[in-house]
Amino acid sequence: MAQSSIPPESLAQAVRALAAMRAEIAKAVVGQTDVVEQTLAALLAGGHVLIEGVPGLGKTLLVRALARTFDGQFGRIQFTPDLMPADVTGHTLYDQGARQFTTRRGPVFTNLLLADEINRAPAKTQAALLEVMQEGQVTIEGVAHPLAPPFMVLATQNPIEQEGTYALPEAQLDRFLLKIRIDYPPADEEARMVRQVTAGHVGERLNVDAVAPLLKPAGVITLQNITAAVAVDDKVLDYAVRIVRATRTWTGVAMGCGPRGGIALVRAARATALIAGRDFVTPDDVKRIAAPALRHRMLPAPELEIEGHTSDSILRSLLEKVEAPRT
């Protein structure tokens, strides 16, 4: 079995910090434990997430609460059909007083960026953001401006309302480490949420005051480095690759996952293992994060979609058939 290079004291500190972050986020976000865990896993893996869900389920609240836990900067862009690339990245303008051109940085210069309803902007604007996600820098008038780490984009889209939207192409979807689905909460969690939001508060302003900052941005970078050192045994890595390769030949799949799917699956499984308090990845970690890591990288055949099958249902069947390593 592969051995981890993480010192025991560093592992213990990381596990405590992650447990504390989850506890602080829970003060603002009621329930949605899987969504919180998957978002945290993406942050640890240094990836970006696409969150799909109907309005009003707490996506903005989750991002703001997560940013507050490590005292990070939070930015939000409301994507609209008339949004231009410069509105995202920034632009140069002529300052008549100083008689020189100055650079005005766009909202992407932050730690956590909420790209709300990303599929409402045209392809050119979507591409501007996705280029920033890939390169970690913005080029304005030929000058590169690096983004301060950690940098993470959390893009949202509404799965129901498609009028006036521009679907993200498969090549751009592949840039997101995870696609997270957020659903309606159970009855008890919804009652607790309504009670918490309405108790002594006027209006609907998102309140994250109860969330205490635990880390600095440098602390998140340390956690990311620890995540990268989580051990992955060759048999577990082979298992992840076999899952990805199986999507390419599975009955009813029009387009399977590319090699980036295997890379994303292993990176996310490492983060999942660390959140669970371990310095090594198990096959269950791979299974647990397989749907968020792969659902947006595969395309069901039209005849299966007509019958109600989705990427998730296909992945469930696939995971039952692909044999996991026993030892």
Question: Model confidence over 149-205: pLDDT tens digits?
Answer: 999 999 988 776 666 577 777 777 888 999 999 888 888 887 887 887 777 665 555
H or E element, residue 265: helix 259-275
Domains and CATH numbers, the chain: 29-219 (3.40.50.300), 230-322 (1.10.8.80)
**Global confidence as pTM:** 0.89
Q: pLDDT at residue 218 above 90?
A: yes
Higher pLDDT, 4 or 109: 109
Q: pLDDT at residue 1 above 80?
A: no
Residue 186's φ and ψ, nearest 5 degrees, are: -65, 165
CA dihedral 274, 280, 281, 285 (to 10 degrees): -40
Percent of the chain with pLDDT over 90: 43
CA distances, 64 to each of 103, 159, 234 (Å)? 27, 22, 38
Number of H helices, E strands in the chain: 13, 11
